[in-house]
Amino acid sequence: MKQDKGNLISGACLVAFGIYVMSVASRLPYVSEVGPGSGFFPLWLGIGLVLLGAYLMIASFARSRNTGTNESQSWKTTGRALAGWLALMVAIALLGRIGFALSFVILTIFLIVALDRRSALLAAGVAIGLAVAFHLIFVIALDVPLPKTSWGF
Amino acid sequence: MDAFGNLLLGFSVALTPVNLFWCLVGVVLGTVVGVLPGLGPAATIAMLLPLTLKMDHTTAIIALAGIFYGARYGGSTTSILLNIPGESSSVVTCLDGYQLARQGRAGAALGISAVASFVAGTVGVLGLMLIAPPLARFALRFAPPEYFALMVLGLTMVVFLAGNSMVKALLAMLVGLWIATIGTDLFTAESRFTFGQVKLLGGVDFVAATVGIFAIGEVLVNFESRAGAELFKLSKGLRNLFPTLQDLKDCRFAFLNGSVIGFFVGALPGAGATVASFLSYGLEKAVSRHPEKFGTGVIEGVAAPEGANNADAGGALVPLLTLGIPGGNTTAILLGGLILWGYRPGPLLIQEHPQLFWGLVASMYIGNVLLLILNLPLVPLFAQILRLPYYILYPLIVGISIVGVYSVNNSLFDVWMMGLFGLLGYLMRKLDFPAAALILGMVLGDALERALRQSLMMSQGDITILVTRPISGILLLIVAVILCLPAVRKVRSWRGEAIEREG
């Protein structure tokens, strides 16, 4: 039953999202000169999202009342995953500024040192080795134009 | 001349040393392109097209077609090993292929994928040889109502992807359908759900979304476990490096199912390998004696979609060569090549240029054998990737994902989207929403909306057009039967329980 609180929240989010889809779709024409308009399809999608999201909420609410559910244990480790995701997003933000190779090296070192608790030396070795391999395979052999700095990597 | 005589003519063309060499170059290049996410066969063929101008035209089409169907062989590798689907048609392979890899059966999954690709590729060529003209005429009877019914049939496969909750699968599918609406409306040129971003006017890039949801989502889930946790069981000895005889026996129907569905769906312009792979997976699960195990690492769950994916290549050449209608990006570029070389693809192509058509058909037989010979020995080698320690594997997956997504359009925006979809994929896993259902909606959404709106235009708003035409009516009847299946199963299990209680 640990999923029920998650289901309740996700159902609520999907209902809210469905209302947003419906509100945007209702501002688009439902019918155009040539037939169904650009708002036709999304409006029905929004209605479907609201109905099914509400069903998910009600079903999980009813179930959690019957079983007296506790907070899910599976969310305790989410912090590590979110830290990894934030590091990835920072690396993506750096791609355009410092190039693929450097941002990838920084990301890899962070993942290995902070999340895996390995030594910085090992992390640096893996990061540089992989960055060089990527450069050789994709940039040199396959001519994929990855973002790079003025130093050429 | 009969088909056998024509085929002999084809082999006499395809077996010349020059054509054999270029067939080999094409399939090897195709395999490499298929393995690398983002670098698709369409872009590769487009890049190489100018180089073929000075080649013999039959040799050129043999080489380019080799890239086309060779890429289908390679596409399964990253899906099985790293949960990175290089193309939309490889998404279904991730479901069971990656789970098999985690259980130490990556070699078996890769091997069965190669065998399924060979069987289905050969069936596809047989179909191309024997029933191309009548099938092409049948495909022409598909108007918007029929395409709508086909897309709805594709969407009903969500029933088989649902896992524990049908409601969650339907919600994921609706979100996927919504993502497909992002961008410029093709009918009215109005922008929808673009959040003021010019780069979203062309829609969400499919590779960015799938790589984010599958690969990045999976990596984020694995970040949760503490250092030292085992991600993959490693296979010991040779036994798990190749499919066993039992695996091959279990996949008999999957080979046939994938081959037939892949070829027929491939012959419909615009339907594509993705629809075929989802349909064959759904059918395989529907007829399986252990449907509940699908998604947990079932070998048939790899064989069926991989077969469909490859038979589709033969099917896709049917409308291209017999009607001059390309079914997708790659066949559109091949059509461009044929026109560039001075041919007029259409009903007369086979009669006017038999050496080109039959040479290509024969080369595809040879190419499929070459691909099997090339791919099977590579299976243990590829499977060794999983022996890498996880502190190398995770950055490797993230790096390949970034490079693969960036290389499609050279767009940093797509990489941002990949990151956002990665978070969505992670949350979907945590909340037990099936990611494949979202991808299914995303893949079919555009075609579904287009077909529905075109149908309603044809009938001036009369929705009965969708059920009164014979082909669409039959397809929608099949949809209704499939939708009733879960209810029938539930009633059966209730009855079984009731009988047990009474007994």
pLDDT tops 80 at residue B387? no
Banded model confidence at residue A96, pLDDT cuts 50, 70, 90: confident
Q: Which residues pair with A32 in a beta bridge?
A: A35
Q: Do B431 and A74 touch (CB under 8 A)?
A: no
pLDDT tops 60 at residue A25? yes
Q: Do A53 and B171 touch (CB under 8 A)?
A: yes
Range B446-458 average pLDDT: 91
Alpha-carbon distance of B78 to B260, in angstroms, equals: 25
Q: What is the pLDDT of residue B23?
A: 92
Q: What is the pLDDT of residue B239?
A: 58
Range B424-444 average pLDDT: 90
pLDDT tops 70 at residue A73? no
Q: Which of B43, B94, B72, B36 is nearest to B404 (CA)?
A: B36
Range B124-128 average pLDDT: 83
- By C-alpha distance, the chain B residue nearest A126 is B392
In chain B, residues with a C-beta closer than 8 Å to the C-beta of A146 are 403, 406-407
Banded model confidence at residue A45, pLDDT cuts 50, 70, 90: very high
Residue A49: which of B168, B171, B419 has the nearest Cβ?
B171
Range B362-378 average pLDDT: 85
Alpha-carbon distance of B127 to B143, in angstroms, equals: 23
In chain B, residues with a C-beta closer than 8 Å to the C-beta of A37 are 187-188
Distances in whole angstroms, Cα of residue B99 to Cα of each of A15, A86, B68, B80 = 32, 27, 27, 8
Write the secondary structure of chain A as one string of H (helix), E (strand) and C (coil): CCHHHHHHHHHHHHHHHHHHHHHHHHHCCCEECCEECCCHHHHHHHHHHHHHHHHHHHHHHHHHHHHCCCCCHHHCCHHHHHHHHHHHHHHHHHHHHHHHHHHHHHHHHHHHHHHCCCCHHHHHHHHHHHHHHHHHHHHHHCCCCCCCCCCCC
Contact B305, B157 (CB under 8 A): no
Range A70-87 average pLDDT: 77
Q: Do B192 and A42 touch (CB under 8 A)?
A: yes
Q: Do A134 and B422 touch (CB under 8 A)?
A: no
Residue B422: which of A88, A115, A116 has the nearest Cβ?
A88
Average pLDDT, chain B: 85
Q: What is the pLDDT of residue B231?
A: 59
Q: What is the pLDDT of residue A16?
A: 97
Q: How far is B400 from chain A (nearest CA, A)?
A: 8
- Tell me which of A93-97, B126-130, B199-203, B453-457 is least confident: B126-130
Look up the ipTM and state it: 0.91
Q: What is the pLDDT of residue B90?
A: 83
pLDDT tops 90 at residue B177? yes
Distance of CA B83 to the CA centre of its chain: 15
Banded model confidence at residue B421, pLDDT cuts 50, 70, 90: very high
Q: Do A35 and B419 touch (CB under 8 A)?
A: no
Banded model confidence at residue B415, pLDDT cuts 50, 70, 90: very high
Q: How far is B421 from chain A (nearest CA, A)?
A: 11
**pLDDT, tens digit, 9 for 90 and up, residues B87-106:** 777 888 998 999 998 888 88
Would you kindly state where each structural domain of chain B is located, as residue ranges? 3-458
Q: What is the pLDDT of residue B160?
A: 78
Q: What is the pLDDT of residue A46?
A: 97
Distances in whole angstroms, Cα of residue B277 to Cα of each of A23, B131, B211, B263, B486 = 35, 22, 18, 11, 21
Q: What is the pLDDT of residue B45?
A: 81
pLDDT tops 90 at residue B153? no
Range A106-115 average pLDDT: 92
Q: What is the pLDDT of residue A28?
A: 93
Residue A41: which of B181, B407, B431 has the nearest Cβ?
B181
Q: What is the pLDDT of residue A153?
A: 65
Q: How far is A125 from chain B (nearest CA, A)?
A: 10
**pLDDT, tens digit, 9 for 90 and up, residues B242-294:** 788 899 999 999 999 999 999 888 887 766 788 889 889 988 988 888 888 88
pTM of the model: 0.81
- Tell me which of B121-125, B213-217, B306-310 is least confident: B121-125
Residue B394: which of A83, A111, A142 has the nearest Cβ?
A111
Residue A38: which of B192, B219, B220 has the nearest Cβ?
B192
Range B160-186 average pLDDT: 90
Residue A38: which of B187, B412, B456 has the nearest Cβ?
B187
Q: Do A81 and B36 touch (CB under 8 A)?
A: no
pLDDT tops 90 at residue B309? no
Q: Do B392 and A147 touch (CB under 8 A)?
A: no
Range B359-365 average pLDDT: 86
Q: Do A34 and B457 touch (CB under 8 A)?
A: yes
Q: What is the pLDDT of residue B400?
A: 87
Q: What is the pLDDT of residue B473?
A: 93
Banded model confidence at residue B477, pLDDT cuts 50, 70, 90: very high
Beta-carbon contacts below 8 Å between A and B? 161
Banded model confidence at residue B224, pLDDT cuts 50, 70, 90: confident
Range B148-175 average pLDDT: 87
Q: What percent of chain B is helix, strand and coil (3-state, nearest 5)? A: 80, 0, 20
Instruction: Spell out a b/e string for B22-52, using b for 16 or more CB atoms within 10 Å of the CB, else e.
Output: bbbbbbbbbbbbbbbbbbbbbbbbbebbeeb
Residue A35: which of B168, B395, B457 has the nearest Cβ?
B457
Q: Do A3 and B431 touch (CB under 8 A)?
A: yes
Banded model confidence at residue B38, pLDDT cuts 50, 70, 90: low
Q: Do A115 and B402 touch (CB under 8 A)?
A: no
Q: Of the spans A129-138, B220-229, B338-347, which averages the highest pLDDT?
A: A129-138
Q: Do B227 and A117 touch (CB under 8 A)?
A: yes
Q: What is the pLDDT of residue A108?
A: 95
Range B422-450 average pLDDT: 90
In chain B, residues with a C-beta closer than 8 Å to the C-beta of A10 are 431, 433
Distances in whole angstroms, Cα of residue B299 to Cα of each of B22, B302, B439 = 33, 5, 22
Q: Do A85 and B422 touch (CB under 8 A)?
A: yes
pLDDT tops 70 at residue B384? yes
pLDDT tops 60 at residue A72? no
